[in-house]
Structure 1
Amino acid sequence: MPLPAPLTQFLASVHPYDSLPADAVEALAEACEARELAAGEAAFAVGDAVQALYVIAEGAFEITDEAGVQLSILGPRNSFGERALLRSETATRTATATAASTLIVVPAATLFELIAAHTPVARFFDRRRPSRADGRNLATLPVERLMTASPASCPPQTPICEAARLMRDRHISSICVSDDAGFQGIVTLRDMNSRVVVEGHDPCAPVSSIMTANPLTLGPKALVTDVLHLMVERRIGHIPIVEGATLLGIVTQTDLTRAQALSSADIVGRVAKSADADEMARATAEIPQLLVQLVDTGNRHEVVTRLITDIADTATRRLLALAEENLGPPPVPYLWLACGSQGRQEQTGVSDQDNCLILSDAAGEADMAYFHDLARFVAQGLDRCGYFFCPGDMMATNPRWCQPLRVWREYFQRWIAKPDPEAQMLASVMFDLRPIGGDEGLFASLQADTLGAASANSIFTAHMISNSLKHQPPLGLLRGLATIRSGDHRNQLDLKLNGVVPVVDLGRVYALQGQLRPVNTRARLEAAVAAGVVSHSGGADLLDAYDLIATTRLEHQVRQVKAGTRPGNYLDPSQLSDFERSHLRDAFVVVKTMQSSVGSGKGALG
């Protein structure tokens, strides 16, 4: 069958074939054939042997799973079939044309040759998270990740006194000089002292008269080690980062010292020694920069979120200790627990607080005032440190969540016995409880008994599964990704609610089904595979998908911090490369597949 013309140009516009040399694209076009399908006709179905990769040239295809649940709608330039092909498996999905369509059929042998011969193609079809080249060594980072972007600058004709005033007001040790022609020079505090204060230079003269013209600069791709070597060799403390004539940023000795000193252990140490919430807040204010450093130096997402959560745990325990110093010793034993992202040890650059108090059954009505005061003291301190109050009031300051152990047992028994929508929501939150400070013996038996009772109640489990499917991955018509249609976040993806939360919910269901103790999502998925709650292949896919989604979220927040904005969860997919969008879409497809498996009643082993 004749191929759609011009095929070579079409393939050259499709990622990853756009990275191939011209002769390789022509060879690929010669090896392909066209296949036309009518609306309703399937390219392949579940159980079929897949022997080719299919690239959509015209039309659209619906991808469904074994239960017939729609996973995604794909349009021109999208491809499918690689999952089964690369694993040498029969198809686990059905691809059906929803309109008259034309497919470009890439034979398996041709695809494997491309993967073997061309790194960009191999990288594209490797569904694991791409490795990061820099490891965990600060010195090997490119300076563009460390520099202060858009540094303070002024035109050459600016009076020296005005430049000095700007440096004072911004608490900076240098100011760059630039005009329409580009970067011209730099003035440092040393220049101000030696040339103005000591030599008596006219403070009303233009700043260009005391600047260091054409100073030593580096490009954005230089390494931090280059900065270190130059500063030591030339005995300078400021290096502008310039590309062409454009000033991009600056790196100072202070930047290097701060980056080398900044660590989760340093912040934890300062928080643990804080005399009050204000001092604590000065330490936690550095969490966004810690997030940047941890992600930029190649740490895995679960390591980053664990280290950031450790700071919140320390802040909570220090506030509990300060509360006891102010209020006196507690009248009965108690346990402060976190739920939500802190409970799962999955905090990122933006987190609210979700917590509760379990009190000894010896607590009487007269003791409640003490614990209400303690809860208020700690919650207000956490808010001061940037962990804002929970919008849903899931906090120990709410009397409902500050109760003796016997009441907590009644809560869980009632939720399990009558899983109405509120019970499902509350149980979902409370199944993520993790002890933070106090008598942990108050929780151990409660957790074990609750998991046993919940997993044994098939009606409750079914309701929890149904509740876990309320948050769906954002799959749709836009290159396979469905963005928000209106409001402040129009045309964006919610990487929390529609990204990580569906996996969090699946992990919670698996933990319930297998009576698994871990609370962290990744640990739950690994435990579910080990316990046979989820199949090895399904679990491996879901772990890879979760890793990619969670890492994409963290990298997005890092870009926001570097841009000087508050980190959040909404991402415009146009900011991603074709490679990143394609892999993110595939990750969402995996999540959707696992949701469908659980929701169809087949469990996770189907």
Structure 2
Amino acid sequence: MENSASNNILDFLIHLDPFDQLPRDIVATLASTASVKYLAKGESISFHAFCEQRYLYIIRKGAIEQRTPLNKLRARLGEEDQFGFTFLAPLRDSEDGYRAEAIDDTLLYLIPHEHILDLCEQHPELHDYFAATAKTRLDSAVRSIVKKEDKGLFFRSVGEVASENIAVAKHTDSIMTVAATMCGKQKSSCAVIVTQGEVVGLVTDRDMTQQVVAKGIDIHLPVHHVMTTNPILINSEDKVIQAISLMLQYNIRCLPVVSDHKVVGLLTTTHLVHNHRTQSLFLIEKIKYANSISALAALREEKQVIFQALVESGVSAEIHGQVMSMIMDAFTRRIIQLTEELLGPPPCEYAWMVAGSHARNEVHMLSDQDSGLVLDDNASEDDRVYFAQFATRVCNGLAAIGYPLCSGKYMAATPKWNQKVSRWKDYYSKWVASPEYNKLLSISVFMEVRSVYGKSELVDNLQEHLHQTITASPRFLSALTRDAIETSPPLGIFNSLVLEKGGQNSNTLNIKKFALNLIIDLARIYCLSAGGSLTGTEERFQYAVKHGTLSQASCDNIIGAYRFITQVRFKHQLNALTQGNEANNNIRPDEFSSFERKHLKEAFKIISELQDVAKLKFVQGP
């Protein structure tokens, strides 16, 4: 018979993640194994690799601070929080010890280690939740944000939705023979051209019209004269969202589907646009043919539809950013083209350079404009007048379609950021040589840049100069690190939003300022320390691992934290939009679920630990 204590524990656990996913009788059995421990304020529990009695600790009331052997704050935990995960692992896999000290009178529920293991044995889906490593727990959390049944088409394999009607021809077949094959039994809009079993080309019905009929090509010639060589392929096991990303990135309509190097099907835009959620992802095609700013502005609402589809599909932060960046690229290019048509051809070579999240291919619903104009060094003063008007029109056009003007005026429309290559090089040289606050602010915006239109070599030249300058100035990395670790993630209790010392108390948490920006800064530092010039957050960490400045375990942990925090951010922004509210980065603590609070604290702890490592590795003494 259940006693009063176990009934109280059951009533608490049954509403707590992940126990709320279990049948009541299973939770009741677990509650009957739990014990109760009271810690007066100031009392503590020590954890070390040789603890003989191991428990999962759940805070019923009160608050706990976890501190390392060097007395550094590891985390602050409050009601419903759980700890002891790392000491649920076998002794050899446990991490170094820490101390859990009550900062208020605290009541704990203790569930023995062996009963948690039994529970995971009966319910394997909980195994990752109670894993000893933070990466495994966060990966599990990312997957849990989006329910499997909500992922729909995006997460189906390409092989499931591809058409089996595909024409296959040899590269020596005549154009007429291939056309007949496409129009025959297969009725395919595309023919895959092979040589000795390898895919070497692609011919579409559009190619037949534009490359053969329009140009009067002899239809008896071998098809390799008109085929597209080295076509983009996709594996049948890949996901539909990956296929859509490829189609958007390379502006293609047909993707041959392969398995074991054999063509097994064809995926076309026609297959995908029948589904209303994927149709919007082909917004780029509409942008390409819009003939005015007002026509482009009419498409701005589709951005939100795409954002919603991506969030609900649970795609990774990396894919989400790539898709949204390709759309912003397309809008930017089309506005530039329309502006050139209006003002006349540009008087000299130039490149439209994007910076910040746009350059990192991490665009999201709240991304504003960060841009610059890089002019050829031969540009005259009259040329500068043209580009001043040009940049203003482009920036205003982007604002009209939903990309806000940068509040800090880091835009090509600002004269300071509309300069010749040589002037941009001077900027970078001065910023790196004297990294005071205002110069670090500027370089943090323009540290990641890429060209989206014009002569890309101008931006390549600029980037090469930047990285050569950084390499020659080791003091710069120290200053950049010192600035990046000045802000700490909130290791506090979300219910009252107690922040780490030096933080600010507020009724909201700015998840961008106190989490995502810190990860982006760390990625930049670790990549630069390895001599890398990559711009994407995840690829920067991976580059650092490859070149020995970051451990694989630390990389896995910080990328897991980045993905989870990004998912939480997007989910809350989507909720605001669907409720007719303005999306932002400020989240009220009471809006976080128990599940989110728990895993966000895990993620924040990972950020804090990597900041500590960066300080030791890269910050030089005075």
CA distance in 2 between counterparts of 1:553 and 1:58 reads: 28
**Could you tell me how far 1:583 is from its partner in structure 2?**
1.5
* Matched residue type, 1:577: S
Q: Does 1:566 align with 2:579?
A: no
- Residues 560 and 26 (structure 1), Cα distance of their counterparts in 2 relative to 1, 3 Å cut: closer
Could you tell me which of 429, 439, 446 is aligned with 1:423? 439
How much does 1:36 deviate?
A: 5.4
| Structure 1 range deviating more: 117-126 or 287-296 | 117-126
Change beyond 3 A, Cα 1:140–1:29: closer
- Change in Cα spacing, 1:317 to 1:113, as seen in structure 2 (3 Å) is same
Residue range with higher mean Cα deviation, 58-67 or 466-475? 58-67
* Aligned equivalent of 2:309, options 274, 285, 293: 293
Q: Partners in 2 of 1:12 and 1:119 — Cα distance?
A: 24
How is 1:180-191 mapped onto 2 (pairs within 5 angstroms)? none
Distance 1:564 1:26 in 2: 42
Out of 441, 452, 474, the residue aligned to residue 490 of structure 2 is: 474
Which of 302, 307, 310 aligns to 2:323? It is 307
Question: After the TM superposition, which of the residue ranges 266-275 and 83-92 deviates more from structure 2?
Answer: 83-92
User: What SS does structure 2 have at the residue aligned with 1:351?
Assistant: coil
Worse-matched range after superposition: 85-94 or 341-350 = 85-94
Of residues 530-539 and 46-55 in structure 1, the stretch that sits farther from structure 2 once superposed is 46-55
Aligned pair partner of 2:148 in 126, 133, 136: 133
Q: How does 1:180-579 map to 2 (within 5 A)?
A: 259-260=276-277, 262-264=279-281, 266-479=282-495, 482=498, 491-579=507-595
User: Quick one: distance in 2 between partners of 1:344 and 1:398?
Assistant: 22
CA shift, 1:43, in A, is: 2.5
Change in CA separation of 1:473 and 1:275 when aligned onto 2, cut-off 3 Å: same
From the superposition, tell whether residues 66 and 452 of structure 1 become closer, same or farther in structure 2 (CA, over 3 Å).
Answer: farther
Instruction: Work out whether residues 510 and 587 of structure 2, in 8 Å CA contact, stay in contact via their aligned partners in 1.
Output: yes
Report which stretch shifted further, 393-402 or 293-302: 293-302
Deviation at 1:136, TM superposition (A): 5.2
The alignment partner of 2:492 has SS state of strand
CA shift digits 1:28-58 (9 cap, x unpaired):
3454445555655553367766943333345
How far did 1:381 drift? 0.8
Which one-letter code corresponds to 1:70 in the other structure?
L
Distance 1:313 1:600 in 2: 39
Letter in 2 for 1:28: L
**SS of residue paired to 2:413:** coil
Aligned equivalents of 1:23 and 1:261: distance in 2? Answer: 43
- Match of residue 72, structure 1, among 66, 75, 87: 75
1:91 to 90, 96, 121: 96
Q: Pick closer, same or farther for the CA change 1:63–1:107 going to 2, 3 Å.
A: same
**Retained in 2: the 8 A contact 1:289–1:561?**
no
Distance (whole Å) between structure 1 residues aligned to residue 295 and residue 434 of structure 2: 46
The residue identity in structure 2 corresponding to 1:297 is S
Aligned residues: CA RMSD: 3.1
- Contact 2:357/2:363, CA 8 A, preserved across alignment: yes
Q: Find the residue that maps to 2:58 and give its secondary structure.
A: strand
Confirm or deny that 1:111 pairs with 2:113: no
Q: TM-score normalised to the size of structure 2?
A: 0.70
Stretches of structure 1 lacking an aligned partner (at least 5 in a row): 142-255
Residue 456 of structure 1 deviates from its aligned partner by 4.7
**1:163 paired residue number:** none
Query: Is 1:55 matched up with 2:64?
Result: no
Deviations 1:188-230 (A, max 9, x none): xxxxxxxxxxxxxxxxxxxxxxxxxxxxxxxxxxxxxxxxxxx
TM-score, length of structure 1 as denominator length: 0.72
Residue 9 of structure 1 aligns with which residue?
8
Q: CA deviation at 1:577?
A: 2.9
Identity of aligned residues (%): 28
1:43 corresponds to: 45
- 1:516 Cα offset (Å): 1.8
In 2, the alpha carbon distance for the partners of 1:67 and 1:376 equals: 55
* Secondary structure in structure 1 of the residue aligned to 2:358: helix
TM-superposed CA distance for 1:447, in Å, is 1.7
Q: Describe the superposition over 1:209-260 as per-residue Cα deviations: whole angstroms up to 9, x where unpaired.
A: xxxxxxxxxxxxxxxxxxxxxxxxxxxxxxxxxxxxxxxxxxxxxxx97825
Change (3 A) 1:140 1:500: closer
The Cα shift of 1:504 comes to 1.3
Q: Contact 1:46/1:65 (CA < 8 Å) preserved in 2? A: no
Is the 2:9–2:109 Cα contact (8 Å) retained in structure 1? no
Instruction: Quote the offset at 1:393 in angstroms.
Output: 0.4
Equivalent position amino acid for 1:85 in 2: L
Aligned-pair CA distance for 1:335: 1.1
Measured in 2, the distance between the counterparts of 1:59 and 1:381 equals 54
CA gap 1:519/1:135 in 2 versus in 1, 3 angstroms = farther
- Which amino acid in 2 is paired with 1:564? G
Aligned-partner Cα distance in 2 for 1:136–1:73: 34
| Residues in 1 aligned to 2:608 and 2:352: alpha-carbon distance in whole angstroms | 35
Cα distance between partner residues in 2 of 1:80 and 1:395: 46
Other structure's SS at 2:582 match: coil
After TM superposition, give the deviation of residue 579 of structure 1 in Å: 1.9
